[in-house]
């Protein structure tokens, strides 16, 4: 099981910007949801967004996203404020090809989690700072569950 968790974790870490939700769905072979739990203006033009990607009752990935509206085009900002879609989908819809720059990565084999921090850059400008916790135990539980409900 440990080898599989490490392999699944690597696949997820290698997912291109904007494809994490689809990659999780592909790994577990079940639909996933993305929920913007909270999005607030921290101060001035700076925002904090909290997101969960999961399946059924399993929150597989939790992310905190920081961004500054003055660095982001208006069309992207309007979509972000609607709180309906992932950052990746919003960037794709706006034909923006962004890059990811990893700033921290940790694998905790006891908790079976991957935590990572990275930046999403466009044209050498940091648009988003993201910290994530990926629950590999939930990912594997969903992958190994029967049916499409995620019930074990």
Which pTM value belongs to this model? 0.84
Whole-number Å distance between alpha carbons of 25 and 29: 6
CATH number of 2-144: 3.40.1410.10
Closest to 37 (Cα-Cα) out of 88, 86, 97, 75: 86
Whole-number Å distance between alpha carbons of 127 and 70: 9
Instruction: Render pLDDT for 116-145 as a digit per residue (tens, 0 to 9).
Output: 999 999 999 999 999 999 998 888 888 877
Whole-number Å distance between alpha carbons of 152 and 137: 13
- Residue 6 pLDDT > 60: yes
Where do the domains of the chain lie? 2-144
């Amino acid at each position: 099981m440990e080898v599989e968790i490490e392999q699944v974790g690597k696949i997820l870490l290698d997912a291109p910007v904007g494809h994490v939700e689809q990659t999780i769905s592909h790994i577990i072979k079940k639909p996933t949801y993305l929920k913007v739990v909270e999005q607030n203006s921290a101060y001035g033009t700076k925002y904090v967004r909290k997101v969960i990607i999961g399946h059924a009752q399993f929150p597989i990935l939790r992310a905190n996203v920081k961004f500054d509206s003055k660095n982001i085009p208006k069309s992207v900002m309007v979509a972000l404020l609607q709180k309906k879609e992932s950052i990746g989908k919003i960037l794709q819809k706006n034909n923006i090809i962004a890059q990811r720059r990893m700033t921290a990565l940790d694998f905790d084999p006891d908790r079976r989690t991957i935590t990572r921090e990275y930046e999403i850059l466009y044209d050498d400008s940091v648009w988003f700072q993201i910290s994530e916790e990926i629950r590999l135990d939930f990912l594997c539980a969903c992958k190994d569950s029967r049916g499409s409900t995620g019930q074990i």
